[in-house]
Amino acid sequence: MEMFVALVIFFQFLCSLSAIQGRTINSRKSGVSEKKVADVSDFFAKLIQRVSPKSYQQALGEVYVTQKFLENFCGDQVRFLARSFAVPGNHLGQQSHGFRWPYGPVTIITPFNFPLEIPLLQLMGALYMGNKPLLKVDSKVCVVMEQMLRLLHECGLPLEDVDFINSDGPTMNKILLEAKPRMTLFTGSSRVAEKLAVDLKGRVKLEDAGFDWKILGPDVHEEDYVAWVCDQDAYACSGQKCSAQSLLFMHENWSKSSLIDKLTGLAARRKLDDLTIGPVLTVTTEAMLGHMNKLLEIKGSKLLFGGEALQNHNIPAVYGAIKPTAVFIPLEEILNENNYELVTKEIFGPFQIVTEYKHNQLSLVLNVLERMHAHLTAAVVSNDPLFLQDVIGNSVNGTTYVGLRARTTGAPQNHWFGPAGDPRGAGIGTPEAIRLVWSCHREVIYDIGPLPQKWRTPQPT
């Protein structure tokens, strides 16, 4: 444990001050080292940008969440994480203890879109609980964790505590089948997740993609704010977050507002220069526009904005590059079983569906949600408590934001992030997530006696 503490402290020493600079600490206070810290933060943010197409602010945000996570497990917090409980037994000398116990040899497989945050948080969680992890990061972006591991080693992480592998997927799959890790954490596409679940006979925790939705409730206020959050949720990182907003339900009161105009204006601000819109790594331009065209064949559908390839760039054709795009589909058509699968197909890029519901159509909206099979993030933008109660009580998404300021993306380290409704679902970051993913329950019952006086051997049963 001391090792982790040391690492945390050293990393903090390097990263903390600059990241929160301008917030509470006056810059003059920390002298020489603050420069160093800012350098390290900046180094990792730019390193992330070299391999994952996102703006500097988004990359820095990833470094910031990582840093805050490490701070959360300073001091005695790793031992507090391993807190057990005990309950009196049936007679003097008996007591049962419930422990969180490590699995032992475990594997971590993480994707391209968060090259630092996802692998580091899961790796440290595995270590905190006492496991021996083998880590594989998507090969396009693994340089980031490779650099972080060097920092960890510099801070005192014993070389033998973590195994790090660079490989393609099939090779990794073969390793898993032979090594038989006790537990494998996989973050990535649903397709690979399902394959791994079968290959590893269910010894997995999964955080796969979601088709995340947002509902705007009947109470319309703060249109500028809500529009801005929608723009960020749908198009930040070019929509390449598993929490990105894919489907927006507007109450008819919002349709009458200037929301769509505002969304159109906000989307138009995004530009390739600063990567506020950029390459899509897993879907080509053709595939995205083709999907759009199929959607536009649905009765009543229309293109709200976007729908064109980006121009004047040298993004290779194996990647996608389109403008932030929104397609309107009538609610009834989404529910039409000929369309449902098409409409709710996840496009891991800057692409969303928009629809509208009348005041008496909430049950149809809930029906759309009920039929989805992945349940990651969701948002209900309303301050009407009865409306919120209705939607929350009828949905199951793991990370659900509600209230005027609800969003689907941007989860920090201080609350659970992960899907719900699936026993294989993984969480990330919080004490609860670490305990769930990286440890199992073990019960040790102490029964030391003394024996009752005059105990005699009973009859067999």
Positions marked active-site? 207, 242
Site for a second copy in 310-349 (CB under 8 A): none
Q: Which of 103, 112, 114, 351 binds a second copy (CB under 8 A)?
A: 103
Q: How many of the chain's residues bind a second copy (CB under 8 A)?
A: 136
Which residues touch 89 (CB under 8 Å, ≥6 apart)?
Answer: 95, 96, 445, 446, 447
State yes or no: residue 450 binds a second copy (CB under 8 A). yes
31 counts as binding a second copy under rule CB under 8 A: yes
405/15 Cα distance (integer angstroms): 29
Query: Among residues 99 and 287, whose Cβ is nearest to a second copy?
Result: 99
Q: Is 280 in the site for a second copy (CB under 8 A)?
A: no
DSSP character string of 154-172: HTT--GGG-EEE---HHHH
Q: Which CB, 128 or 142, lies closer to a second copy? A: 128
Sole binder of a second copy in the list 42, 43, 51, 101 (CB under 8 A): 101
Q: In the complex with a second copy, which residue's Cβ is closer, 72 or 285?
A: 72
Min dist. Cβ of residue 450 to a second copy (A): 6
Long-range contacts of 118-123 (CB under 8 A, 24+ apart): 118/187, 118/428, 119/145, 120/66, 120/69, 120/145, 120/148, 121/66, 121/69, 121/413, 121/428, 121/429, 122/185, 122/187, 122/428, 122/437, 123/162
Angle at 416 between CA 103 and CA 214, to 5 degrees: 135
Which residues inside 172-211 make contact with a second copy, applying CB under 8 A?
Answer: 182-183, 194, 197-198, 200-205
Question: Would you state the structure tokens that stand for residue 419, as one six-digit string?
Answer: 């899907």
Q: Pick from 43, 164, 340, 416: which binds a second copy (CB under 8 A)? A: 416
Assess contact for 139 and 166: CB atoms under 8 A.
yes
Q: Which of 16, 124, 11, 122 is nearest to 78 (CA)?
A: 124
**Which positions from 343 through 402 interact with a second copy, judged by CB under 8 A?**
383, 385-386, 389, 392, 396-402
121 contributes a contact to a second copy by CB under 8 A: no
| Shortest distance in whole angstroms from residue 181 CB to a second copy | 10
Does 107 bind a second copy (CB under 8 A)? Our answer is no
Q: Does 33 bind a second copy (CB under 8 A)?
A: yes
CA–CA separation, 168 and 162 (whole Å)? 19
Residues 54-83 touching a second copy, rule: CB under 8 A, are 55, 57-58, 61, 68-77, 79-80, 82-83
